[in-house]
Amino acid sequence: MILATLLMAIFAFSCTSNADKIALLDKSNFETTVDGKDVSLYTLRGGDLVMQVTNYGARVVSLWAPDRNGNYADVEIGYENIDRYINNTGERFLGAVVGPVANRIANGKFVLDGKTYTLPQNNNGQTLHGGLLGVDRIVWDVKSCTESEIVFVTTLPDGQDGFPANRTIEMTYRLTKDNEFTVLYSATTDAKTVFNISHHSFFNLEGDGEGTILDHILTINSKAITPVNEFLIPTGELMCVKDTPFDFNAPHAIGERVNEVHPQLAAGAGYDHNWVIDREDDGTIQKVADVYSPKSGRGMEVYTDQIALQFYCGNFFDGSYNNKFGKPIAYRGAIALETQRYPDAPNQSSFPSVELNPGDTYTHTCTYKFYTK
């Protein structure tokens, strides 16, 4: 009887997993040359996950995960070919690594050891995610690639986008048998610099192009955010989240309070803020957030050794351009959960430092762990 029950369970799973319906992107649509370096597409598998990555900006372009019934969907917002990433007119940072200093730097300037460094500025007069090239518009070298892991390396030359020093970065994307997508970073420098790299996947746990993420249930282990001005630059203060729409210590639907009247929601056009994680800055890896789709039953936990988390709910998507499946990327149609240190830290003396010195090694771990219920 026990054996028969086990066989029936295995048969039921095989009939509902639908893994054969995963629609992998065509590798040939990503094969090109940029700045004399070859670009390609790589497919990784681990546990129930299947992920495709290009070495242009080390971008995740698709990530297939099962729902509670074993039906697969691509939960990563992305494009269907490399040209749309290189010459895109929509969201620049889809699935990319961002840096060398993620997030915003006020006025495109900072002072380090008495010297002022000037960086490329956007139309708001600030530097976002590293400048004109950053690390998302370069071709990373592939050091190694296995079925479940790819290791990227690059060296950013002194002066790229105005940042000082030659910086060597190694970054690993790994899928595990436990349905984890782990990102590992390490970086060294030959001169004093600033460094705060992050990963910028946009997720929709109901599937890429399947409406908004407003029904997703979010939890963040944080008692405070770094409030921002009208240009999304931190004021240098901390704002307690208790009794505000920013308190996600208990689970809340993202859309439950996003349209409330609050000066910080007005400043960010919704949620686009840095949460200060309630933890010690001791390098240990801890769970910091959880997001869950009641409709699909897919959930994603976030683990990191970092002290902050940027949560963005797709306020600037407007449905005017399509995803890889030809569907509009809807207003608030994706969520980004970016582990990092505080934004604009080079200009905020009260914030934890993002300085990196010769002889020291920057390290950073971020894990997105998928589950169903």
For 287-330, give the DSSP string: EEEEEE-TTT-EEEEEEES-SEEEEE--TT--SSSB-TTS-B--
Query: 54: domain CATH number?
Result: 2.70.98.10
- Write out pLDDT tens, residues 337-357: 999 999 999 999 999 999 999
- Residue 315 belongs to a domain: yes
Asked if 288 and 368 count as a contact pair (C-beta separation under 8 A), the reply is no
Residue type, position 175, single letter: L
User: Does residue 20 surpass a pLDDT of 90?
Assistant: no
- Residue 360 belongs to a domain: yes
- Residue 12 belongs to a domain: no
- Residue 8 belongs to a domain: no
Handedness of CA 240, 245, 246, 248 (dihedral sign): positive
User: Does residue 325 surpass a pLDDT of 60?
Assistant: yes
CA-to-CA distance for 299 and 205, rounded, in angstroms? 7
- Identify the band that residue 17 occupies on the pLDDT scale cut at 50, 70 and 90: low
Give the residue numbers spanning the domain of 316.
24-373
- Residue 362 belongs to a domain: yes
How far does the chain reach from its first CA to its final CA, in angstroms?
A: 27
Percent of the chain with pLDDT over 90: 92
Whole-number pLDDT of residue 283: 96
CA-to-CA distance for 328 and 63, rounded, in angstroms? 18
- Write out pLDDT tens, residues 76-121: 999 999 999 999 888 999 999 999 999 999 999 999 999 999 999 9
Asked if 154 and 141 count as a contact pair (C-beta separation under 8 A), the reply is yes
Please give the C-alpha separations between residue 283 and each of 314, 323, 363, 364, in angstroms, as whole numbers.
Answer: 30, 37, 9, 8
- Residue 58 belongs to a domain: yes
Q: How many helices (H) and strands (E) does the chain have?
A: 4, 28
Structure-token pair, residue 166: 């030659």
Q: Known catalytic residues?
A: 200, 338
- Residue 2 belongs to a domain: no
Task: Look up the pTM and report it.
Answer: 0.94
Asked if 122 and 132 count as a contact pair (C-beta separation under 8 A), the reply is no
Asked if 54 and 30 count as a contact pair (C-beta separation under 8 A), the reply is yes
- Residue 193 belongs to a domain: yes
Indicate the number of domains in the chain. 1
Nearest in space to 197 (alpha carbons), one of 357, 52, 362: 362
Q: What is the mean pLDDT of the chain?
A: 94
